[in-house]
Homo-oligomer: A and B are copies of this chain.
């Protein structure tokens, strides 16, 4: 990479010389400290603009130990987490809250296994003041690094615990997946539906998917396995799962899809198969992402989560973390539209 011509970049020393004050005074002006004479402030600012001076963050970090940046780390972009409007919305909440605190959100993705090492180095190297992590489960190198360095961290989604895993000291924020699923399926039963299928997320990988399936089973403990089809939280996956369910159980009269994106795929297949929604098959989604739920045909009855709010919350926890109860479950509620 072309090396930046840093020899030519003005330093605080240059600004000091040009404006006839000391480095300390320039530093005070830059950092907006009050005890500087107004005319001095003005002159220093003028020189800064004239020289095009920009503070060297590395030098500043070295002494302040602060960067003004927060990393958002997301695993599994190949699963198209990236393309999910849910994630988009969450991220917007995070960015806005961080921006309100004057911090810059920087997004890092983990594609390959080897990325873990590089990202761990990045986080450990002090490039950021904290991290928000998605789809990461305990036991990995990133967790080690974060734990060892005491880097403030908040997890998006309750960690999927395996035997012996712990999450001590790790805050997390998650929606009430199980409760929400119960609301959804409960609604379908209250409508008198008898054969309620479900399209699940990848419940062996994602805790949220496991919880939503558990909520379904809470309400329908005796549901036969052939009413349950696993998908992957994508629209396409939802469509394929719906097709499989219709094939296996043409008599089904309702579907709980564990995400709006999957529900929209399911609706497309139902239409293609000539099933009327909700008359023949009632459909309930999960997430209540406006851009999907309000524009499907028919509009989607779904479990609402304040996704942007969850994002904001995660960012806020990073700044003022209550010392003893760092993890939060955000409640859900059912939003009735036309599909069920």
Chain A residues near B (Cβ < 8 Å) = 1-6, 8-9, 52, 54-62, 65-69, 71, 77, 80, 82-83, 85, 88, 91-92, 95-96, 99, 102, 104-109, 111-112, 114-115, 118-119, 121-122, 124-127, 129-130, 145, 148-152, 236, 268, 272, 291, 295, 297, 318-319, 321
Contacts and interface: CB of A to CB of B under 8 A. Distances in A.
Given A95-B111, A108-B107, A58 B62 contact: yes
Given A6-B65, A152-B1, A56 B96 contact: no
Contacts of A56: 62, 125-126
B105 A109 contact: yes
Nearest to A291: B236
Nearest to A144: B52
A49 to B, nearest CB: 11
A96 B55 CA distance: 31
Of all A-B residue pairs in the complex, the 9 with the closest CB atoms, nearest first, are A57-B125, A107-B107, A58-B61, A54-B124, A106-B106, A58-B62, A58-B58, A1-B319, A2-B152
A148 B8 CA distance: 11
A129 B55 contact: no
Contacts of A92: 77, 111
B80 A95 contact: no
B104 A118 contact: yes
Contacts of A6: 65
Contacts of A57: 58, 125-127
A247 to B, nearest CB: 17
Given A68-B122, A82-B82, 7 more contacts: A2-B152, A3-B65, A4-B129, A6-B65, A8-B150, A54-B145, A106-B108
A71 B104 CA distance: 12
A74 to B, nearest CB: 10
Contacts of A4: 65, 129, 149-152
B88 A130 contact: no
Contact of A52 (B55, B112, B127, B148): B148
A65 B6 CA distance: 8
